[in-house]
Structure 1
């Protein structure tokens, strides 16, 4: 059942990307281009952090609310990655 939920999250990201990609990029992705970075399920709720093989810095957070039978999608752009030493 967890695999079904992760596949749902991947499909949401694939469809989102394909419907929002700039037409001049002439790029469409498949499920093979989408992967789950992290997944957690608690009771009837679950959350997946998802990314793609496209080097655009985008990150997707998919949250399923089992009480309302709704899925929420947050789309993020990675701006920077740096190290802070202790």
Structure 2
């Protein structure tokens, strides 16, 4: 499951990276930040070693046999005091 999520992200990045950057990543550049499995469904939060601020949410729907990818860019991290 986690291997599948990492491969999906690697393939996505390599297909969407700016061709002029001539940057391609391998599985060694992709890592799972968080993983959860419930029954036949699972979700992975995945990132890469590329410093582009992107992260990926890979969700598998076991009932439908489908996997979805949401791609996000982190804009900032702020502290909100209680």
Match of 1:21 in 2: 17
The alignment's TM-score, normalised by the length of structure 1, stands at: 0.93
TM-score, normalisation: structure 2 = 0.98
Counterpart of 2:69? 73
The residue number in structure 2 matching 1:54 is 50
- Other structure's SS at 2:63 match: coil
Q: C-alpha separation between the residues in 2 aligned to 1:81 and 1:56?
A: 15
For residues 50 and 77 of structure 2, the distance between their equivalents in structure 1, rounded to whole angstroms, comes to: 17
Q: CA deviation at 1:33?
A: 0.2
- 1:82 to partner: Cα distance: 1.1
Question: Which aligned segments of 4 or more residues in structure 1 are displaced greater than 2 angstroms?
Answer: none
Q: How does 1:2-41 map to 2 (within 5 A)?
A: 5-41=1-37
CA separation in 1, counterparts of 2:48 and 2:14? 12
Gaps spanning 5+ residues in structure 1: where?
A: none
Which blocks of at least 5 consecutive residues in structure 2 are unaligned? none
Alignment: residue pair count: 82
